[in-house]
Structure 1
Amino acid sequence: MSSISADSVQCRPPPVFSKEQIKQIRTTVLSLIRDMVTAPDFIPSSVGPIIDACATSLPAAEFTALLQESNITGHTPLYWAVVNNRPEALSAFLKFIATYTYNSLDDLRLACMATSNHAWFTSLKLTTTPRYRKGLGLNRSLGYPRDKIQVYHEGNLQNQFTSKIQIMMFQKRMRVTQEIYVELIAQGRIWCLLFYMGVDTKWRVSFGLAKDSLPARPKALLKIEAQNEQSQDLQINFEPKEDYLLAPEGYTNSSIHTCESLSASLDDVLMFNDAIYTDSDGALHANLEVTLL
């Protein structure tokens, strides 16, 4: 990897550190981690021994903090592990992180968006943004399984993608939390669907872009699947009006017209106990088809 190796750090630190000792060890550890996520001659099999040496050379809290600080060209080691496709390093880092800081969460979301890596975005559980954390306690209390969201790119059409979405315990969650927020990554952006209670006490759904995504002009079709052969799928179309682009909340650019979301009312039948659009487990199945114009 470089002239620095795992032997450069002490596997067992002395009982008392001076500030200068901590600074020197921290610098060496950061150099090792930087090589691990950015060096072109990276050797995956070296991750384990080096991480073990680094972790035992600093207090646990100090090492965990180092992994989540923007200390490598303005980003965290976690970010570069995703961007440079270093799954071994990322897996090793995450063993020392019980909870993401806001900084590392945002950085990981940026990394997955930059690489259009929906699989890692999902496996790393990055699909809940701080704005919607208010509902996490209620959602955990409901004890539902994680929603299932998959993204597909068909053929050579670079401006199209499809997402299969399965929202667990849809009606129960809507009645208790009054909103369900899901995200997916495609075309270098984070797209979001928000199911919520409107001011008219009707259920609605909005389609938009999450923070840091580039504006886009999508034409989208959300199909909510009927669970019996006698009924038709619900179809909801989303498209910005002419000369407008869909943009994240707070995005500003005086040279273009933007809108923050596209919304539509849901069929009242979705609120009924015997709804034909949820399966026997209460899950709602939908397909989202998007074309960038």
Structure 2
Amino acid sequence: MIVDSKTSDQFLLADAPPSYDALESLSGSNTSYRRDEKSPSPLTPSPSQPSFQSPSSGSTSTPLKVKRSSTKGKGPATWFNFGASRTTKEVQATVLGLVRDLVKQQYSTPGASGILDSCSEACDAYDISFSSILQEKSIENHTPIHWAIVKRPSEPPNPDDHDLVTALLSRSAPLKPSTIADIRLACLLTSDQALFQRLRLSPVFSPVSGTDEMLLGASILPDTIEVEEVEGDAGAFVANFEILAFQKRMRVSNRIRQEFIARGRMWCLSFSITPSSQWVVRLSILEHSPPTWIDSRLIIEEPSPRPAPVTPMPSSLIDAPIPEQPSSNKKRSKPKPAISLRLKSGNFQLTPLGSHSQNRGEIEVALEDSMMGLSLQYDGSSYLDAEGTLRARLEARLAKPEAECIIC
């Protein structure tokens, strides 16, 4: 039996993912490569596509899952077993080229989602892991996700839209440690604090410890961090933290970490309990951050009291309660002084931990260094709100410390 070579080539081309130009020209037609009729159209987003929630959406994020097609094992790869290795390489090269073009042109969704779905279906047909392809450092020694973050607009038209970064991430789970490191580097290079905090909401990118998951529950949003960079040449910034169940997590986990990006550096503010049972706060810069001087203060004030509940209007003056006469013996409680802890780099610049530098990589201060700092350990501390949330503010400037810390 003689197999027509033209027919074979047609089958091979029909099964490989379409080129980028072909998808552009066929976006309005019904023509596509061979796939299961039940699969979604490659140029329209699937209703079951996993979402990557943003903080502004008000809902909890769910683990990212890789979209799987029902065409796995049904593709024509079984028809041409003798050329499977060559065909697999061709499909993989085509997919890599399409992904590279998407990142290069910063293609917006839903168009990008359709193209990525087509690539995923083609990979499934040839038993190729699309997730692994997206996590390969195939573009200038970095992953496609890294470049999508670097090329991401500083102010997207609509922060709630699922952009290319979201489309790539939702098809890349589970993320490898090397991929997470590449994503963190991209956020640092672009000083994209908003995206970095958005990624922290995903357990896939920033998994919650087992103890925190048990204490906080799956339905509670994680801690929040807001950073404001102060105008001027002093490199000043202010970071506001809301840490849930502070005392309980400290007693059970012995450590709470807060990571954020400010002034071109990735920072870590952590609270921990030493082996000698001393409560301390630490400030450090993380990998790929340039060394810097820093002079800062961590300020913790008493939370504002909740407004008193509104008393309903009585139906008649007879039902109205008699107002209490103010007692001359009662004194208004004065607000307690704020907990203020100075965190400074001293005689050496702060350097990333593990950089094999002789300079200091971490600043550590005991809570008891502040007059009211020890009260954070005790039940009923007035510096925690009714739910046990700690609100703290870090005021910093990247300058060599002086005799007095002055934060602009």
Give TM-score, length-normalised by structure 2: 0.64
Does residue 1:107 correspond to 2:172, yes or no? no
Q: What's the CA shift string for 1:176-210, capped at 9, x where partnerless?
A: 00000110001121100111102321210100011
CA contact (8 A) 1:105 1:126 kept: no
| Correspondence for 2:216 among 143, 155, 164 | 143
Residue 366 of structure 2 corresponds to residue 265 of structure 1: yes
Question: Cα distance, 1:49 vs. partner?
Answer: 2.3
Letter in 2 for 1:80: W
Do structure 1's residue 73 and structure 2's residue 140 form an aligned pair? yes
Q: CA shift at 1:292, angstroms? A: 0.7
Structure-2 residue corresponding to 1:248: 352
The 2-side partners of 1:155 and 1:270 are apart by 33
- 8 Å CA contact 1:71–1:77 kept in 2: the answer is yes
CA distance in 1, matches of 2:169, 2:211: 26
CA contact (8 A) 1:69 1:103 kept: no
The one of 205, 224, 233 equivalent to 2:300 is 224
Letter of the 2:339 counterpart = L
Q: Which has the larger radius of gyration?
A: 2
Deviation at 1:113, TM superposition (A): 0.5
**Partner Cα separation in structure 2 for residue 43 and residue 195 of structure 1:** 41
Report the RMSD for the aligned CA atoms in angstroms. Answer: 2.7
Tell me the equivalent position of 2:370: none
Out of 383, 395, 398, the position equivalent to 1:277 is 383
Offset from partner CA, 1:194-228 (integer Å, 9 cap, x none): 11102321210100011221111111111112236
CA contact (8 A) 2:108 2:163 kept: no
Give the secondary-structure state (helix, strand or coil) at the position aligned to 2:291.
coil
Rate the CA distance shift 1:241–1:158 in 2: closer, same or farther, 3 A. closer
Q: Which moved more, 1:154-163 or 1:88-97?
A: 154-163
Distance change >3 Å, CA 278–CA 5, structure 1 → 2: farther
Instruction: Give the CA deviation at 1:260.
Output: 1.1
Please say if residues 4 and 32 of structure 1, whose CA atoms lie closer than 8 Å, have aligned partners that are also in contact. Answer: no
Percent of residue pairs identical: 29
| Structure 2 residue matching 1:109: 3-state secondary structure | helix
Going from structure 1 to structure 2, the CA distance change for 1:90 and 1:43 (only over 3 Å counts) comes to: closer
Q: Provide the C-alpha distance between the structure 2 equivalents of 1:240 and 1:127, rounded to a whole number of angstroms.
A: 32
- Is 2:275 aligned against 1:202? no
**How does the TM-score come out when normalised to structure 1?**
0.88
Q: Distance in 2 between matches of 1:76 and 1:123?
A: 19
* CA deviation string 1:150-199 (max 9, x = no partner): 11123344611111100111000000000001100011211001111023
1:205 counterpart SS class? strand
Do the aligned partners of residues 188 and 32 (structure 1) sit closer, same or farther apart at CA in structure 2, a change above 3 Å counting? same
Structure 1 position 5, deviation (Å):
4.1
- Distance in 2 between residues matched to 1:177 and 1:136, nearest whole Å: 9
Q: Are the aligned partners of 1:109 and 1:126 in contact in 2 as well (CA < 8 Å)?
A: no
State how 1:88-167 maps to structure 2 within 5 Å.
Answer: 88-125=163-200, 136-144=209-217, 145=220, 146-157=222-233, 159-167=235-243
**Distance (whole Å) between structure 1 residues aligned to residue 201 and residue 261 of structure 2:** 11
CA apart distance, 1:111: 0.5
Residue aligned with 1:56, SS? helix
Q: Which has the higher helix share?
A: 1
- Equivalent residues of 1:127, 1:183 under 8 A apart: no
Instruction: Give the 3 Å change call, closer, same or farther, for CA 210–57 of structure 1 in structure 2.
Output: same
Q: Relative to structure 1, is the Cα distance of residues 235 and 127 closer, same or farther in structure 2, using a 3 angstrom cutoff?
A: farther
| Superposition misfits of 4+ residues, deviation over 6 angstroms | 126-130
Q: How far apart are the structure 1 equivalents of 2:364 and 2:139?
A: 40
Aligned letter for 2:344?
E
Return 281-290 or 117-126, whichever deviates more: 117-126
Distance 1:170 1:153, change over 3 A: same
Which shows bigger deviation, 216-225 or 79-88?
Answer: 79-88
What code does the residue aligned with 2:101 have?
D
- 2:150 alignment partner AA: V
In structure 1, what is the equivalent of residue 93 of structure 2? 27
Please state how far the C-alpha of 1:10 moved relative to its aligned partner: 4.3
**Once the 2 structures are TM-superposed, how far is the Cα of residue 43 of structure 1 from its aligned partner?**
5.5
Taking a change above 3 Å as real, the CA distance of residues 126 and 217 of structure 1, as seen in their structure-2 partners, is: farther
Taking a change above 3 Å as real, the CA distance of residues 78 and 126 of structure 1, as seen in their structure-2 partners, is farther
Seen in structure 2, the aligned counterparts of structure 1 residues 70 and 11 have a Cα distance that, compared at 3 Å, is: farther
Q: Which residue of 2 aligns with 1:236?
A: 341
Counterpart CA distance in 2 for 1:252 and 1:11 is 55
Counterpart residue identity of residue 192, structure 2: N
